[in-house]
Structure 1
């Protein structure tokens, strides 16, 4: 008896036509049955935003008989996962993959990332999930180089499962396949964005602002995602969505809250 193929939900934040998600779809089609629900336009840096004050639209863009069913969604990456799970699928998928993002989602970027928020939303739903990102912002980036690694990481995740309430944040360095040294399990580096707002004036004389900034890595550890990427490794960070600072509970309990 042949083994049943896993059902894989694919989404992203760069939009359903982005080369990164098309590459991810191609790899997932080699592994399982694929459903795609992705934004109809770029939704980068949306974080875990959901649509509550506007209507949401789903547009089926695949045709009857196509091997892969695809929907574009007017909402955010998290909206895409919610609609897929609650409105389209009759059962939860075996895996959700998000990406491949055009650009880094390492370190503090995970907080802002629509790519990773989609994966986190799947994790909240009890679905094993992986977010994939390539450190190349070029729309025409070479995703073929990383396809074998995407396939390997996906297969290992399906074979072994993930710890409860954990999703994976995977970042690829911008390198040729033969120059990638391997895969490293890492922690998230401590880093910040040193931000600046450029104040400008419209032709009508109204002030407006343009966000700019510089990424600053404050972490010199050799077990971080930033170190791995700088040293030609693929970084894999297990991410949890319980934001409780457990280490601080004992200290806070020494305060005189009820006196």
Structure 2
């Protein structure tokens, strides 16, 4: 590996063959030395799950002397980062990028996202990390329109670093490059999924369920990721993995816990 270039770990949750990660690899290869460790099959909505009750496999799929090392992993996106840091890479990477996700990871979606969980895991390891998502679920989405922005954002993080224990959640609207108005630093919108289960029967008469739902944005603020995306901006939300509700500690300390 070229020690003069930044070492960049690339992963995702849509699987190593997804067009989104292929685009991300292409952009990162113009910035530094790229190593890819990504799931061998789609792992969307796996959140921060890890494999503890099954074996894990990792396979080198790049050819000998290829400029980019690529490995497929049988586990989750978080497994991919753990294996990359502990088994594949000889040193800690300078940057971890996850994505480009086929679909939104704005607002509450960050909780369920395998893409963002991979970035968070890298952050836990002390690696500057970014999760990238495009608001287009089409497998053949046009990722070319956002390559310049990804390049710029990644270089900024490499140059300036990130605050301690923070990773970036970057979402792109489904627009042409010239239609995107710019980048906004946002907070996560207060929104949720109103979920329903479509109950069906197998040919044998056994009940099964298919999860459906409606995304409801309850937040009218103009400083949120949902507002930015709806108004033609790229949203960047700084995400922390300390889940402590610090504002609640004082109130809870007034309760009679020890009486």
TM class, shorter-length: over 0.9
TM-score where L is the length of structure 1? 0.99
* Helix, strand or coil at the partner of 2:65: coil
Distance 1:55 1:126 in 2: 26
2:53: which partner in 1?
Answer: 53
Q: 5 Å matches for 1:122-141?
A: 122-141=122-141
TM-score where L is the length of structure 2? 0.99
Size of the alignment, in residue pairs?
Answer: 258
**Runs of at least 4 residues off by over 4 Å:** none
What's the CA shift for 1:174? 0.3
Distance 1:177 1:88 in 2: 35
Distance 1:28 1:198 in 2: 41
What's the CA shift for 1:103? 0.1
Could you list the runs of 5+ residues in structure 1 that have no partner in the other structure? none
Instruction: Report whether the alignment pairs 1:36 with 2:28.
Output: no
2:174: which partner in 1?
Answer: 174
Distance 1:21 1:88 in 2: 19
> CA deviation digits over 1:88-109, x for unaligned, max 9?
1111000000000000000000
* Helix, strand or coil at the partner of 2:170: strand
* Helix, strand or coil at the partner of 1:107: coil
1:239: which partner in 2?
Answer: 239
What's the CA shift for 1:139? 0.3
What's the CA shift for 1:251? 0.2
Could you list the runs of 5+ residues in structure 2 that have no partner in the other structure? none
Q: 5 Å matches for 1:1-259?
A: 4-259=4-259
What's the CA shift for 1:64? 1.0
What's the CA shift for 1:63? 1.1
Distance 1:63 1:3 in 2: 21
Distance 1:39 1:255 in 2: 46
Distance 1:123 1:256 in 2: 37
Distance 2:49 2:246 in 1: 25
What's the CA shift for 1:3? 8.9
What's the CA shift for 1:230? 0.2
